[in-house]
Structure 1
Amino acid sequence: MTAIDNIAQANTRYAATFPGPRSRHPRLKLTVITCMDSRLDLFGALGLEVGDAHLIRNAGGIPTDDVLRSLAISQRAMGTSEVVLAHHTECGMAGFDDDAFRAELEAESGQAPTWRVPGFDDVYDDLRRSVETVRTCPWLPNRDHVRGFLFDVATGVLHEVS
């Protein structure tokens, strides 16, 4: 059985107990931007329930153009007003070589990606930079309540980074 078969079966069990529809407008008016890392259980770690917040994930939790597009929609069309950026320890983007990765993709496919894959050397500096990127984004009407946290994948503890 494949992983996809397993999730299809799990969904059958889940749907049987699903409590029904919720508003598309997040109840907490919160957006969380974080990494796609499978070790991050956002609902458990942040005490969230389905319908509480928008969750935007990518490699590194970096506020790329696409993340800022989604965040602008979240705020302008769905009424969110607070943003949490949650980066984490042992991130695969730490020390990631964007130029080498792009060269590898181009060598294998014959086509260079149109996007960049920014890595970072210091997760704390990257988190501060990410918070500043959101706070200064001109397309966002709500930039006063933006905070950054580092999730420790070994302990589950969330530390605020200022």
Structure 2
Amino acid sequence: MSTSAHLPAEPSVAPTGAARTGGTVTDRLIDANHRYADAFTDPGMDARPVLRVAVVACMDARLDLHGALGLALGDCHTIRNAGGVVTDDVIRSLTISQRALGTRSVVLIHHTGCGLESLTEEFRHDLEIEVGQRPSWAVESFRDVDQDVRQSMRRVRTSPFLVHTDDIRGFVFDVKTGLLREIETSD
């Protein structure tokens, strides 16, 4: 099985901006950046988040974390990856966020309909066959989103590198309603 078989179908919506006129999506993003920079004023912010919180969430394009959580620029550190799972690299980012930049709270957000629910670790095997090298990372797929949030909370709470593990909360974002549902720990 080709790993590209896991990709969703191309959207049927006509492309806009640079993509429609022959440029790439990246060209469109760079054009948008120029417009942004023209109106940009330095907000004079520090790199330390105002709310002293780090949010770990899935990279899914349907999750507008700032909108869903009422956050403004500078309020939080946002760490995103496939599934919003707590990996070694997430622990690295959280450690820097806490120890160097003053965060004290961690919010974990998974969501309904996550693509990792339909993948398995077999994906790594398929990649190895396709490219001739096995990835060093785990897919971190799961079948039960609530249980995966609990596992992620445990990974944060038990990390020896993190100094602030008393305010760790996990949620599932419903992509149909926009509501967060808190997941209680089983500890």
TM-score scaled to structure 2, two decimals?
Answer: 0.83
CA drift at 1:157: 1.0
Alignment of 1:60-139 (within 5 A): 60-98=83-121, 100-139=122-161
User: What stretches of structure 2 of length at least 5 have no aligned partner?
Assistant: 1-22
CA drift at 1:49: 1.0
Which of the two has higher C-alpha Rg? 2
Runs of 4+ in 1 over 6 A off after TM superposition: none
Verify: 1:29 aligned to 2:58, yes or no: no
The code of the aligned residue for 2:59 comes to M
Verify: 1:58 aligned to 2:81, yes or no: yes
Verify: 1:45 aligned to 2:45, yes or no: no
Paired with 1:63 and 1:110, the residues of 2 have a C-alpha distance of 27
Paired with 1:8 and 1:38, the residues of 2 have a C-alpha distance of 19
User: What stretches of structure 1 of length at least 5 have no aligned partner?
Assistant: none
The 3-state SS of whatever aligns with 1:140 is: coil
TM-score scaled to structure 1, two decimals?
Answer: 0.95
Paired with 2:41 and 2:141, the residues of 1 have a C-alpha distance of 40
The code of the aligned residue for 1:109 comes to V
The code of the aligned residue for 1:23 comes to D
The 3-state SS of whatever aligns with 1:93 is: helix
CA drift at 1:115: 1.1
Aligned length: 161
User: Which whole-Å deviations, capped at 9, do the CAs of 1:41-85 have from their partners, x for residues lacking one?
Assistant: 011111111111110011000000011011111100111000000
Verify: 1:6 aligned to 2:51, yes or no: no
Aligned alpha-carbon RMSD (Å): 1.1
Paired with 2:152 and 2:136, the residues of 1 have a C-alpha distance of 21
CA drift at 1:149: 1.0
Q: Percent identity?
A: 53
Paired with 1:156 and 1:17, the residues of 2 have a C-alpha distance of 31
Paired with 2:124 and 2:26, the residues of 1 have a C-alpha distance of 29
Verify: 1:17 aligned to 2:43, yes or no: no
Paired with 2:109 and 2:84, the residues of 1 have a C-alpha distance of 7
Verify: 1:146 aligned to 2:168, yes or no: yes
Paired with 1:71 and 1:93, the residues of 2 have a C-alpha distance of 22
Paired with 1:144 and 1:62, the residues of 2 have a C-alpha distance of 19
CA drift at 1:107: 0.7
